Structure 1
Amino acid sequence: MKHAVLLLLLLASQAAAQPSAASVAKVDAADMGIALARKKTYPGSELKVLQNLKAGSNYSRQVVAYQSEGLSIHALLTVPNGTPPKGGWPAIVFNHGYIPPEVYRTTERYVAYQDAFARAGFVTLKSDYRGHGDSQGEALGGYYAPGYTTDVMNALGSLKRDKRVNAARIGMWGHSMGGFLTLRAMVIDPSIKAGVIWGGVVANYDDLMNRWPHKAPASIPRRVLNLRKTAVEKYGTPAGNPRFWNALSANSYLKDVGGPVQLHIGSADEEVPPAFHATLARQLKAAGQSVQSYVYPGDNHNLSRNLRTALDRSVAFFKNNL
């Protein structure tokens, strides 16, 4: 009897650790609609300090947590040393690209990138996103489920609540998938003053599905990959049902972007087609938006050969626009 009880407890704990089929079934591509996202509120919460880290050259570093749809999301916060300027420090929501959620760590990756902005006098907040590292929730990717967008918006809301931050001087930086999230955030909330996107997945859904010759990483679970298949089965393809898919795409709402955008990409980017970058630059100009476009010949997805130049340009852009 004792062994049977132990077995039942073990099975129950294993089941609890696995994402339920029901949680995935509730995800609907229609939830990605920009109009729907604008109707939601993103209050965030007070940033709760979980761990004090070794300080940077002129700023503090902390692992913090904030609330997003009832989930505790971890993030890396940097705050400049000294007395904030009148109105508070300018701030940047920092949106990282795809990293397998099970190996993601709050304090790893993008260290040099975030450091560049922190040293320049910006508060920065790099959200883990739900299901990454020790953050609660299920990691369902950014393209066919709204969770990551919601987490980014609540990171923004959390910074706006922080008395050290000037709520009228907040921008966003995004790389790869984080660029997709940054563009979505900027059309959802025009109060975002400026955005910088590196190697961004910034195309509409027709291009994402048909002109992105990118093999999905083996680390992406089948249940996440199936979200696209399920969406197409229910709503048809972007070519067959453009009204539906365009309503989900930030590219359809570029006139609503509330500030200038700076774009960077390597011409030899092996993850994201440079054509995505070029098309977005043209679309932003056509929408009457201010846009700067930088293409680095022969460089890769991380702009490794031109990292310092790209960071300097990004820092200068935020200094001029926040």
Structure 2
Amino acid sequence: MKLPWLGFVALVLTAAVGCSSTPTADPAPSAPPPTTSSTPSNTPSASTTSPPPASSPPSATPAAPANPVSLQAQIAKKYDGRDLRLGRVITRTDAYTRYFVTYASGKLRISGILNVPTTPGRHPALVLNHGFIDPAVYTNGRGLMREQDYLARRGYVVLHTDYRNHAQSSKDPQNDVNLRIGYTDDVINAVLALKASPYVDPQRVGLFGRSMGGGITYNALVAQPGLVKAAVVYASVSSNAVENFNRWTRPDTRTAAAVIRAHGEPAKNPAFWRNMSAVNFFDRITEPLLIQQGLADSTCPPVWAQQTYAALKKAGKDATLYTYPGEEHAFAAAWPTSMARTVAFLKKQGV
């Protein structure tokens, strides 16, 4: 189902704490998926008309706090993503070469993979933001393998970031207590490092985020408007940090206790949690955003995508939502269609 309006649209716990445990450990969704038709409509369903209940109006950016763990701190930060280094060749295909890479993110060095098309010249490019995979088992470039190949074969330079604490990346011991806000830094710096690559047209760079990576994508868009030309999210976590915390982190009592000690319960320190929720900063977004969501998703409730879409539209943003009946968190039968729509959207936006 497509819900287009005149305009258009990867935790933190907005972005990065979502999906912080395996899907089998997820509690039941906080709200049932809405009933949705596969027939395109020009009018959103009633269930898409309200933003997440714990959020303040998305058009009003909250006053900046002193807390360095906040989206305001991400907004004020100076980013200097740089020094993208190509390492060993992992694979050569008929369409692209796959490299191990690292780049600078503040004081850290982040690993990843880079797919570079074999055609000459500068190319459009995408930074891919993967969903949660336990760092203890994560390996370089893991996640989004289908997407990495598909997009590189269609002429995109693809930088898949591992994030801090993953694979060969530098360690950040405060990452989990600080709601993984550092992943947002890593993605913003990945874009800046990629733009300096001789393989890339710096005017044609986008973001692609899935699950937890969808939430990270929302954070990057509100922190650095104008960083990219467009963004795509799949099966994203909530844009409301409280919903993500309650769904994934609270059942992990040890991690939840550390977060609460550092930042307070949502009910007792609502300002902190508002300031970690991208939905409260949607007025800052300047890029078109495409959201794709399976309606049988048992990991990230479909209502989250619809609430985020409604909040973006309320803020007057250029957002589009496609829903897919019967599709779970990892798309199956509809995946080719969803990827064709992704490439069509990106090309329309000049990426």
Aligned partner of 1:9 in structure 2 is none
In structure 1, runs of 5+ residues without a counterpart are 1-28
Provide closer, same or farther for how the CA distance between residues 244 and 131 of structure 1 changes in structure 2, counting only shifts above 3 A: closer
**TM-score, length-normalised on structure 2?**
0.75
1:116 and 2:150 aligned: yes
Task: Say whether the 8 Å CA contact 2:163–2:186 is kept in structure 1.
Answer: yes
Contact 1:141 1:148 in 2 (8 A): no
TM-score by length of 1: 0.81
TM-aligned CA distance change 1:215 to 1:223, over 3 Å: closer
The equivalent of 1:228 in structure 2 is: 259
**Structure of higher RCO (CA pairs closer than 8 Å, 6+ residues apart):** 2
Residue 90 (structure 1) shift: 1.4
In structure 2, which of residues 231, 238, 256 is the aligned counterpart of residue 195 of structure 1?
Answer: 231
Pair 1:102-2:128 in alignment: no
* Shift in alpha-carbon separation, 1:178–1:143, aligned structure 2, 3 A: farther
Partner of 2:127: 93
AA in 2 matched with 1:83: P
Q: Which residue matches 1:287?
A: 315
Q: SS of the residue aligned with 2:146?
A: helix
Q: Say whether residues 1:300 and 2:328 are aligned partners.
A: yes
**How far did 1:236 drift?**
4.0
Does the aligned pair in 1 maintain the 2:177–2:259 contact within 8 Å? no
8 Å contact 1:179–1:200 — kept in the other structure? yes
1:62 aligns with 2:109: no
> How large is the RMSD of aligned CA atoms in angstroms?
2.3
Task: For residue 294 of structure 1, report the CA deviation from its aligned partner.
Answer: 1.2
Structure 1 residue identity aligned to 2:210 = H
Q: For the residues of structure 2 that align with 1:216 and 1:117, how far apart are their CA atoms? A: 36
Indicate which of 303, 306, 330 corresponds to 1:275.
303
Q: Deviations over 1:191-240 (max 9, x none)?
A: 22111111101331233344x3x5789xx8x7644443224xx4442x44
AA matched with 1:204? N
How far the C-alpha of 1:168 sits from its partner, in A, is: 2.1
CA apart distance, 1:77: 0.4
- State the SS of the aligned residue for 1:282: helix
* Partner SS, residue 32 of structure 1: coil
Relative distance call for 1:223 and 1:134 in structure 2 (3 A) is farther
DSSP 3-state at the match of 2:83: coil
Which one-letter code corresponds to 2:230 in the other structure?
A
Amino acid of the structure 2 residue aligned with 1:170: V
Judge conservation of contact 2:127–2:206 (CA < 8 Å) in 1. yes
Within a 5 Å distance, the mapping from 1:142-181 to structure 2 comes to: 144-181=179-216
Does the 8 Å CA contact 1:142/1:181 hold for their aligned counterparts?
A: no
Of 53, 64, 71, the residue aligned with 2:108 is: 71
Match for residue 138 of structure 1 among 137, 156, 172: 172
Count, aligned residues? 283
CA distance in 2, matches of 1:124, 1:70: 23
> Does the CA-based 8 Å contact 2:177-2:255 persist in structure 1?
no
Q: 1:97 to 1:148 in 2, by over 3 A?
A: same
Q: Which has the higher helix share?
A: 1
CA deviation string 1:108-166 (max 9, x = no partner) = 33211111111111111000011111212137349713221111111111012213222
Q: Distance in 1 between matches of 2:108 and 2:254?
A: 21
Q: What's the counterpart of residue 74 of structure 2?
A: 37
Give the 3-state SS of the residue equivalent to 2:333 in structure 1.
helix
SS at match of 1:57: coil
What displacement does 1:79 show? 1.4
Describe the superposition over 1:43-67 as per-residue Cα deviations: whole angstroms up to 9, x where unpaired. Answer: 1222112211212331221010111
